[in-house]
Amino acid sequence: MNKFADWDVGKNYELIKLLGSGSYGAVASAIHKPSGKKVAIKQMKGVFEDEVDCKRILREIFILKSLKHRSVVGLFDLIEPQDPRHFDTIYLVL
């Protein structure tokens, strides 16, 4: 059984292992194929179901994008959804 059957990270990433899950989603280790870099991908489902949660997720993306420090995980990529008009899952690459 494919544990990543419901993940859609595109062709640039290879999912390796599920690292954990929490209230906002799940995190998996992965490889960025073009560079060979190890990354973590955070999958957040149902991002528009609750307005407060949606704002928190947007704030998290903004903060991760703004942080630039060698001791803090930063945002490497935000995977574009297949259908930008109709989606409810976001993938943050850290």
Q: How far is CA 2 from the centre of its chain?
A: 19
CATH class (in words) of the domain with range 13-93: alpha beta
- Per residue of the chain (94 residues), give pLDDT as tens: 678 988 999 999 999 999 999 887 899 999 999 999 999 999 999 999 999 989 999 999 999 999 888 898 899 999 999 898 999 999 999 9
The closest of 34, 11, 28, 15 to 82, measured between CA atoms, is 11
Q: Domain extents for the chain?
A: 13-93
State pTM to two decimals. 0.90
Pairing relation of β-strands 13-21 and 37-45?
unpaired
> Residue 37 is inside which H or E element, if any?
strand 37-45
